[in-house]
A and B are shown apart, each in its own frame.
Chain A
Amino acid sequence: MLKIEDLHASIEDKEILKGINLEVKPGEVHAIMGPNGSGKSTLASVLAGREDYEVTKGKVTYKEQDLLDLAPEERAREGIFLAFQYPVEIPGVSTTNFLKTAINQIREHRGLEPFDAVSFLKEMKEKMKLVDIDQSLLSRALNEGFSGGEKKRNEVFQMAMLEPTLSILDETDSGLDIDALRIVADGVNKLKTKDNATIVVTHYQRLLEYIVPDYVHVLYNGRIVKSGTKELALELEEKGYDWIKEKTIA
């Protein structure tokens, strides 16, 4: 589904990604861990098409297309979803209104009729239950004055609504209380099918107890320096990143 080959990306002439290789197949869950500033969010942003980053080298193939050729909205319509580490506020625009605009543009892209109000509300109700989000939150201005946890939950709600093929969750677990973490992880698991894939960026092993990854990768200084299975996450939790850093320097 997704194949990243020797991806290099910089911002303001500073190289952040220094040769990423990663392949994600349908049905898989990949976890990406790594110290602060190692380039995890950068990778997520580059995949989603943020224009601030310049791809200087490498190739990304998604569903047999050159992903880097597509505009951000085209990537989204093709099923790429990014749950932001820091969701932005959009004053005066409710989540409901926002999602309706998004969904109908996606549907149009896929040659479907726009949702009428009734089907849209029905869809909303269903997905609200899935992530246990309150109606009142959805009618408020998007992310404005939301608590950290509310923002994250709202991201997962949007993911549920948009039914992406490839979801990238950038530290969606940070800021969630223990119950919320379980609910959100449950939601993500329920949305999992054999045809879609998930990349979870996290600092905590705990999330991976709920969303069990097929692979764990360690991103350090713009490269994936170690890959393994879920046991790797446990090892990292125990030992920290120093042993990996030492190894890569050596």
Chain B
Amino acid sequence: MSKDDQILEEFTSKEYEHGWNIDMEADQAPKGLSEDIVRFISAKKEEPEWLLDWRLKAYKKWTQMEEPDWANVKFPKINYQDIIYYSAPKQKVKPKSLDEVDPEMLETFKKLGISLEEQKRLTGVAVDAVFDSVSVATTFKDKLAELGIIFCSFSEAVQDHPELVKKYIGSVVPVNDNYFAALNSAVFSDGSFCYIPKGVRCPMELSTYFRINAANTGQFERTLIVAEEGSYVSYLEGCTAPQRDENQLHAAVVEIYAQADAEVKYSTVQNWYPGDENGKGGIYNFVTKRGICAGDRSKISWTQVETGSAVTWKYPSCILKGDHSQGEFYSVAVTNKMQQADTGTKMIHIGKNTKSRIVSKGVSAGKSQNSYRGQVKVMKRAENARNFSQCDSLLMGNLCGAHTFPYIDIENSSAQVEHEATTSKIGEDQIFYCTQRGIDEESAIALIVNGYCKEVLNQLPMEFAVEAQKLLALTLEGSVG
């Protein structure tokens, strides 16, 4: 029996006693999940009692739940006792220069048009003082601090702003919301915390900063964004650069809380390793993202570009509680090879005169499966709710699949809900039209796909949109012919 197995054996065969017998000095927890592991994580992070209790409650809920099986995805059963739930952030050996970085990675950077400096940051190359990411980050931080904006890692927030974390954590995604959210709540490693005070417009995209700091936040990431009355923030998470991780399972949670007249724009690009031609080795990405428009006239807008992962399970949602509040969801989901994506949104109309808009663009190539799943729910009290949904699917080749699952649930007859769906194929005649003008086939497809996704890409911050466009082209490379 290996040492890990032994420890595991000990754990599972032993009734819970107070305390634990995991070596607190260890850099990583033994495999598997138990109450003791949750305590270990919390202790390692020196968390206050209330947070430990919160985690334990989540853990307990999780043990009572079943992994959901309703999504249109197939993957081998995950052995949750075979995962290591905590390892100390390691100082990796930094490459000295870009010459030491995987050339394939560099080639991709080049195709995405990512600057040399940024390439260094993303690959962790030690950079000279001028471009030292820490100092750049500090400059940002000072500027934000002047405005009272808090933007830091989740762990830091727990230490420095416990009252805010305590107030809002789990307020949008309760611990027992779903299987993966419960798992995340029990074991989340780190993530980001963002707080915009009353009446403050965040003067910059919280993206540059993030990318600089996008150090491995781990597989159970947690983000909490709180926008106080009348504030505004545009927040960007993720990265167009391909991301690999030896952890196959990723289960993140994002919560957004918008008070009256606040507006939060959340954009993300997801490019986790999708696996090889046979889907081997890809990341499973099971994310719970939800925002609540708690106050009147508040607005939350989700924009996502999903190109990576072997299996994606993700439904950024809005709870439109405040009167006149608005929710938006703009999504591009591209699947190729053996990828499977089941993604969409939920718009829950509770307040009066609430509005929601859904624009979903699916692109399927190879042998992939791409599903849109969306729910529009109008509650009894929601007078004059409006929803518009547009779900388009674009197919490339005959081996892939596109599916649409709209659920509409209306309890107030004054609601106006519109749903449009189209499925199309990239036409031979469209490609020929492009090649006849001297454009090669791959560029032609990129052009057509980008045109098709334009409405969504337009929502992204400018410099990011350009990268996202290139990313789409890259994802579809070699998918025709």
Number of residues on chain B facing chain A (CB within 8 A)? 23
Given known pairs A73-B441, A102-B439, A106-B438, the reply for A88 and B448 (CB within 8 Å) is no
For window 430-469 of B, CB contacts with A under 8 Å fall at: 430, 432-441, 443, 447-448, 450-455
For window 118-165 of A, CB contacts with B under 8 Å fall at: 141, 158, 162
A89 to B429, CA, bound (A): 9
In the assembled complex, how far is the CB of residue B372 from the closest CB belonging to chain A, in whole angstroms? 18
Give the secondary structure class of B's interface: helix
Contact indicator B451/A92 (Cβ below 8 Å): yes
Please tell me which stretch of A14-22, A46-54, A203-211 contacts chain B, meaning at least 4 of its Cβ atoms lie within 8 angstroms of it: A46-54
Most buried by A among B429, B435, B436, B454: B436
Q: Which of A48, A76, A89, A92 contacts B455 (CB 8 A)?
A: A92
Given known pairs A88-B430, A105-B440, the reply for A73 and B435 (CB within 8 Å) is yes
A185 to B279, CA, bound (A): 56
> Is A241 interfacial (CB-CB < 8 Å)?
no
Number of residues on chain A facing chain B (CB within 8 A)? 33
> Is A67 interfacial (CB-CB < 8 Å)?
no
> Is A190 interfacial (CB-CB < 8 Å)?
no
Contact indicator A93/B437 (Cβ below 8 Å): no
Question: B452: which A residues are within 8 A, CB to CB?
Answer: 91-92
A89 to B436, CA, bound (A): 14
A144 to B411, CA, bound (A): 39
> Is B89 interfacial (CB-CB < 8 Å)?
no
> Is A36 interfacial (CB-CB < 8 Å)?
no
Contact indicator B429/A102 (Cβ below 8 Å): no
Given known pairs A98-B447, A101-B443, the reply for A109 and B454 (CB within 8 Å) is no
Contact indicator A90/B438 (Cβ below 8 Å): no
Question: B440: which A residues are within 8 A, CB to CB?
Answer: 73, 105
Contact indicator B438/A77 (Cβ below 8 Å): yes
Name the CB-closest residue of B to A94. B451
> Is A114 interfacial (CB-CB < 8 Å)?
no
For window 384-443 of B, CB contacts with A under 8 Å fall at: 427-430, 432-441, 443
For window 82-106 of A, CB contacts with B under 8 Å fall at: 82, 84, 87-93, 97-99, 101-103, 105-106
Contact indicator B453/A88 (Cβ below 8 Å): no
Given known pairs A92-B454, A141-B451, the reply for A49 and B439 (CB within 8 Å) is no
Contact indicator B448/A105 (Cβ below 8 Å): no
In the assembled complex, how far is the CB of residue B158 from the closest CB belonging to chain A, in whole angstroms? 44
Name the 6 nearest CB pairs between A and B, nearest first: A92-B451, A93-B451, A92-B454, A76-B438, A102-B437, A72-B435
8 contacts between A and B (CB under 8 A): A49-B436, A51-B432, A76-B439, A91-B452, A92-B454, A93-B450, A102-B438, A106-B438
Task: Give A residues with C-beta under 8 Å from B.
Answer: 48-52, 71-73, 75-77, 81-82, 84, 87-93, 97-99, 101-103, 105-106, 109, 141, 158, 162
